[in-house]
Amino acid sequence: MNKIEIFKGNENGKSGIGIKVKDDNATLADLLAAWQPLCDDSNIYKLYGDNHFAVCKGCNTNCCNTAYVIPDIISFKKMADHKNLDHKSFISAFFDREKVKAGLLRMQPDPCVFLEENICTIYPCRSLICRFYVCTDILGTAEQLIYSLAWTGITALQVFAEENDLIDTDSKAGLSSFDLMFKKLIEEYRYKPQVKLFLAADNYEDIPLKPFLA
């Protein structure tokens, strides 16, 4: 039996993609494996996709051109390893210098520093934000689960970066209102117990979904 079911359904009068967790032992890796086919599914309506029905691979109106990506801690470590860089050098090479100085780990955008010819060059280790983003309608409960997982992982990276002197924490110079909103979100998540799960994990298999379910 699959531990996760991804379905098309309705919730409060809105239709969209939903998530059903069918096994108490399901992990974030199980959810990601079940979610991945959506990217490759040309039968679901994709708001920004070519002709609205397309696979994400090679998409011409690629969301990666404008994406605001702060990676989760697991992806961050895997991307740095993939580039054979220590964490500090990885940040210097691929993150937005101004934002890092102001304490926010945003990857270099417009287009994303890892996008080449409309293809992600670090696809197997891309972050949760990237993995979960599909430009289609998602039901509220599913959106909440995804949001909670992504921001907990991002907050864990922030804590890790602060503890290891990878970013400054005091300055707010150079931050837009958008950036400040993200910093506020990170502060909201900072003391949630689930952050420790991400801090202790090496892989998405190590993150149980149960503590994230409402």
Interface residues toward ligand SF4, by CB under 6 A: 46, 48-49, 54, 56, 59, 61-64, 67, 69, 112, 114-115, 120, 122, 126, 130, 133-135
DSSP 3-state of 70: coil
Q: What whole-number distance in Å separates Cα of residue 12 and Cα of residue 32?
A: 25
Q: What whole-number distance in Å separates Cα of residue 89 and Cα of residue 101?
A: 14
Q: What whole-number distance in Å separates Cα of residue 207 and Cα of residue 54?
A: 31
Q: What whole-number distance in Å separates Cα of residue 48 and Cα of residue 55?
A: 11
CB of 1 to ligand SF4, least distance (A): 29
CA distances (Å), 74 to each of 177, 197, 202, in order? Answer: 27, 11, 6
CB of 76 to ligand SF4, least distance (A): 11
CB of 170 to ligand SF4, least distance (A): 28
Choose between 16 and 49: whose C-beta lies nearer to ligand SF4.
Answer: 49
Choose between 26 and 134: whose C-beta lies nearer to ligand SF4.
Answer: 134
Element (H, E) at 127: none
Choose between 62 and 194: whose C-beta lies nearer to ligand SF4.
Answer: 62
CB of 204 to ligand SF4, least distance (A): 16
What six digits make up the tokens of 162?
A: 């602060």
Choose between 62 and 158: whose C-beta lies nearer to ligand SF4.
Answer: 62
Beta bridge pairs of residue 6: 19
CB of 126 to ligand SF4, least distance (A): 4
Choose between 19 and 64: whose C-beta lies nearer to ligand SF4.
Answer: 64
